[in-house]
Structure 1
Amino acid sequence: MTAEPVSVGLLYPGHSAEDDFPALEVRLGGRVRLPLVHTSVGEDAHRVDALLDLGGPDRLAEGAGRLAESRPDSIMWACTSGSFVFGWDGAREQVDRLADLLGKPASSTSIAFVEAARALGLSRVAVAASYPEDVAGRFVEFLGHGGIEVVGWGFRDIVTAAEVGTLGRDEVIGLAVDHDHRDAEAVLVPDTAMHSLAWLDDLEAAVGKPVLTANQVTVWEGLRLAGGPTTLPGLGRLFAGASG
């Protein structure tokens, strides 16, 4: 009798790059399930007040209620800015509430970046952000609280998730290359509104070091929490076995 594939439930705000996830399911031939529920969005803006609303408890609780129907093995709040904007303790409280609601382990993309960096033994990174400067700076601060030193960072000043979702392969690679730093052991590219899962090997080839993207670490963290496979092809060095 074939075992059921591990299921990582995704709470994803709005509509931008959510097609990354079903495409990955197909590529992996059914080894994992990634059921996704769209959480509600007030204003699509990479602005602190809008992001605090985006990741508010009522929006996440409503989405979690619908996600429960998929019976996931773990839950991911698949949003970087809507988690790190709450700060280190606030982001932890956010996912603790989700875990209590569904009775399953839960995390978020921001926390996943820290866990993935630790799994790869990284201590110094560069950040290539699509966000405006003040929002990108909050991600840098969040990483610092997690013990990850940011030796260089840059931003694209894109205000809406919708616009980020239109970035193509070459633009995403260019973002990572442009904001790499010679002292960085890896480049981190936040924002789950950005497509990346099909281009991870290309990203790492262009940069010449590990690249961690939002959608990549979201899937990895969900699988890690659920006890699923974290060694998978075509998903960069994070999934190459270093994380066990």
Structure 2
Amino acid sequence: MPSVGFLYPGYSAEDDYPVFEEKLGGDVRLHLVHTLMREDAHRVDALLDVGGSDVLGEGARELREHGVDAAVWACTSGSFVFGWDGARAQAQAVEDETGAAASSTSFAFVNALRALGIERVAIAASYPEDVAERFVEFLGAAGIEVVAWAGRGIVTAAEVGTLSGEDVLDWVAAGDHPDAEAVLVPDTALHSAAILDALEERLGKTVLTANQVSVWEGLRLAGAAAPREGLGTLFRSGARVPASTEH
């Protein structure tokens, strides 16, 4: 049975992953390892520490013991804050430590968009604006046009994890733009597994959330990316990433 390992910082929406595993039908295993979060803050210096090599190295070695087929650093801000080359080096280090193909949530967003042929997006970010702007820059490096974006200004992952489904639906809808082909919601601290189809129904277009693309990326790397229902357009489409796949 294919298995995917996730390095997840701290505690906020980790309970999304058992929901994903159940919705996937029980034919894959998702292993979660909590990595050290010395300070819970959506602030650049704190995020650089959250995604540091010492922190990820320890978690990756634990994942290696599970014998996973693929690994994902499941933290968007803790990857894109390093910039394109830094995030690539980060994923490579996880791959080296786990002995399995590895990626991160930031690259998962890029690969999901390429698989779906989407080039113009809006971003509904929970982060403060200076952090959200770094995600805009990361996507720009991949040739993705951000037609609108906004940061909600929430400082801690713990607070993001308390947002209700109704609140998320309203907030993401408010972040949409008529020129956007999809809306991205880039925070793995946000619960989304139970509302993916509801989000797309509300907006009438593709919505990609951080935990969703993380799971999809892991399954893709593990060779288990068959079409699935109940988890939004990305899973339903059975989309395949073109040759320009990032890490």
Alignment TM class, shorter chain as reference: over 0.9
Q: Matches of 1:242 and 1:178 in 2, distance apart?
A: 28
Equivalent position of 2:235 in the other structure: 239
Deviating 4+ runs (over 6 angstroms): none
Equivalent position of 1:76 in the other structure: 72
Q: Of the candidates 38, 42, 47, which is equivalent to residue 43 of structure 2?
A: 47
- Residue 231 of structure 1 deviates from its aligned partner by 1.2
Equivalent position of 1:114 in the other structure: 110
Alignment map for 1:1-244 (pairs within 5 Å): 4=1, 6-244=2-240
Runs of 5+ in structure 2 lacking a partner? 241-247
**How large is the RMSD of aligned CA atoms in angstroms?**
0.9
Task: Give the 3-state SS of the residue equivalent to 2:106 in structure 1.
Answer: helix
Report how many residues are paired.
240
What are the superposed Cα offsets for residues 2-41 of structure 1, whole Å, 9 maximum, x if unpaired? Answer: xx2x111000000000000012212333121110000001
Task: Give the 3-state SS of the residue equivalent to 1:34 in structure 2.
Answer: strand
Runs of 5+ in structure 1 lacking a partner? none
Q: Matches of 2:48 and 2:31 in 1, distance apart?
A: 24
Q: Matches of 1:231 and 1:110 in 2, distance apart?
A: 22
Task: Give the 3-state SS of the residue equivalent to 2:220 in structure 1.
Answer: helix
Q: Matches of 1:109 and 1:140 in 2, distance apart?
A: 14
Q: Matches of 1:9 and 1:98 in 2, distance apart?
A: 11
- Whichever residue aligns with residue 42 of structure 1, its letter is R
Q: Matches of 2:238 and 2:31 in 1, distance apart?
A: 26
- Residue 242 of structure 1 deviates from its aligned partner by 4.6
- Contact residue 33 and residue 63 of structure 2 kept, 8 A: yes
- Contact residue 220 and residue 230 of structure 1 kept, 8 A: no
- Contact residue 119 and residue 242 of structure 1 kept, 8 A: no
Please, which moves more after superposition, 225-234 or 129-138? 225-234
Percentage identity across aligned positions?
Answer: 65
Task: Give the 3-state SS of the residue equivalent to 2:71 in structure 1.
Answer: strand
- Residue 230 of structure 1 deviates from its aligned partner by 3.7
- Contact residue 120 and residue 242 of structure 1 kept, 8 A: no
What are the superposed Cα offsets for residues 135-167 of structure 1, whole Å, 9 maximum, x if unpaired? Answer: 000000000001110000111100000000001
